[in-house]
Amino acid sequence: MGNIFAIYWKEMRSYFGSPVAYVMAAVFLFFTGYIFQNLVFEFHQMSRYYAQDIVDKQQRGGVNANDVIVTDFYSLQFFVWLIVTPMLTMRLYAEEQRQGTFELLMTSPVTAYQVLIGKFLACFSLYAIIEVGAVSLLGVLSYYAVVEWGPILSALLAVLLLGASFISVGIFASSLTENQIVAVVISFFLLLLLWFIDWSSRFVDPVWAGILRYLSIVAHMDDMNRGVIDTMDVAFFFSLTALFLFLTHTVIESRRWRI
């Protein structure tokens, strides 16, 4: 455990000792803040409309902040993370290879597994810290509208599980190359494939259609975003994370033998 925490703190110092963490946090919070602002404006307009139309209000029961703001806020936030996460992970192994410190790291008294877990936990910690800023927007909303925290916490769990999966894919991409831009491109397109893979389910036989739908990230996020936590969805994200961490470990171990 000591070696893992040593790698963890090394990566955290690297993140916060450079503009990376601050720029990524600013970019993410800018986009989520913009999304949140527009959803609040839309909620305000709908509230005024229903307040004026008494008959429609009685028929539909008015407007709900969770349906109008929270669900859409997290749905759009998922896609923003798909863009931002590859930028958080691009340097984890690619930078080590470019600077020539990868060989030093692999010949030091730490295992490839310890290095991998330390880097993963550091990136996930940064991810979670940035996400706290987004959740604080909903805290402000709760002062001005009635919100249900159950669905919010469920969606937050989806964000964290999604983040772990995205980070594992990004680390895998970073381990394949010493060029950070190439790592971003590989990571982004792998995540995009997992995002849209269920589209192909319309054109294949039922067996393959079921497999493709199961592999789709979106299919496992929707229920959690609406407050329904299914162990199948949780297991999917854990399995996806473990798979790409295993693939990364395999790549790193193969390079260790060549050093």
The pLDDT profile of the chain, 259 residues, written as one tens digit per residue, is 778 888 899 889 888 888 888 888 888 889 888 988 888 888 777 776 666 554 454 445 556 677 778 888 888 888 889 989 999 998 888 877 777 676 666 667 778 888 899 999 999 999 999 999 888 888 888 777 777 888 888 888 999 999 999 999 999 999 888 888 999 999 999 999 888 887 777 777 778 778 888 888 888 888 788 778 888 889 999 999 999 999 999 988 887 666 5
What pTM value is reported for the model? 0.88
Residue 148, classed as helix, strand or coil, is coil
- Which domain covers residue 161, as residue numbers? 2-258
SS3 of residue 245 by DSSP: helix
Q: How many domains does the chain have?
A: 1
Q: What is the rounded CA–CA span in Å between residue 231 and residue 240?
A: 14
Torsion of CA 184, 152, 223, 159, to 10 degrees: 20
CB contact set of 92 (below 8 Å; sequence gap of 6+): 11, 119, 123, 170, 171, 174, 175
Q: How far is CA 132 from CA 121, 123, 127, 143, 172, in A?
A: 16, 14, 9, 17, 26
